[in-house]
Amino acid sequence: MGIESTSGVFNDIEWKQAMLASIVESSEDAIISKTLESIITSWNQSAERLFGYTEEEVLGKHISILLPADRLNEEEVIIKSIIAGDRIDHFQTVRRKKDGSLVDISLTVSPVRNNAGEIIGASKIARDISIQVAMEARLTQANIELQKSNLYKDEFIGLLGHELRTPLTSVKACIQLMREWPERIGELTNKADKQVNRMTNLLVELVDFAKSQAGRLEINTVPTSATEFINNAIETVQQSHPEHAIRYESEHQDLLLNVDALRMEQVVINLLTNAIKYSPGATEVIVRSAREGEVFHVSVQDFGMGIPQAEVENIWNRFYRVKGHRANFKGLGLGLHLCRQLISLHKGRIWVESTEGTGSVFHFTLPIN
Ligand code: ADP
Strand partners, 105: 93, 128
Q: Identify whether the C-beta of residue 75 lies closer than 8 Å to the C-beta of residue 67.
A: yes
pLDDT in the model for residue 153: 81
pLDDT in the model for residue 14: 86
pLDDT in the model for residue 8: 60
What is the DSSP secondary-structure string of 22-69?
HHHHH-SSEEEEEETT-BEEEE-HHHHHHH---HHHHTTSBGGGGS-G
Q: Identify whether the C-beta of residue 85 lies closer than 8 Å to the C-beta of residue 56.
A: no
* C-alpha of residue 202 to centroid of ligand 1, in Å: 15
The burial class, CB within 10 Å (0-12 / 13-18 / 19+), for 162 is exposed
Which one of 332, 336, 358, 362 would you pick to mutate in the ligand 1 pocket, going by the greatest count of ligand atoms within 8 A of its CB?
Answer: 336
Q: Identify whether the C-beta of residue 305 lies closer than 8 Å to the C-beta of residue 325.
A: yes
Sign of torsion over alpha carbons 162, 165, 171, 173:
negative
Q: Strands 30-35 and 40-43: what pairing?
A: antiparallel
Give dist(CA 119, CA 122) in Å, integer.
Answer: 8
Query: Does the C-beta of 267 come closer than 6 Å to ligand 1?
Result: no
Question: In which residue ranges of the chain is pLDDT below 50?
Answer: 1
pLDDT in tens, 79-109: 999 999 999 999 999 999 999 999 999 999 9
Give dist(CA 122, CA 111) in Å, integer.
Answer: 4
CA distances from 360 to 312, 343, 364 (A): 10, 19, 13
Give dist(CA 63, CA 77) in Å, integer.
Answer: 13
pLDDT in the model for residue 309: 96
* C-alpha of residue 322 to centroid of ligand 1, in Å: 7
CA distances from 259 to 175, 273, 316, 335, 345 (A): 41, 21, 22, 19, 10
The closest residue, in CA terms, to atom 21 on ligand 1 is 274
Statement: the pTM of the whole predicted model exceeds 0.75: no
pLDDT in the model for residue 9: 65
pLDDT in the model for residue 6: 56
* C-alpha of residue 3 to centroid of ligand 1, in Å: 83
* C-alpha of residue 310 to centroid of ligand 1, in Å: 14
Q: Identify whether the C-beta of residue 205 lies closer than 8 Å to the C-beta of residue 334.
A: yes
* C-alpha of residue 60 to centroid of ligand 1, in Å: 67
pLDDT in the model for residue 17: 87
Query: Does the C-beta of 315 come closer than 6 Å to ligand 1?
Result: yes
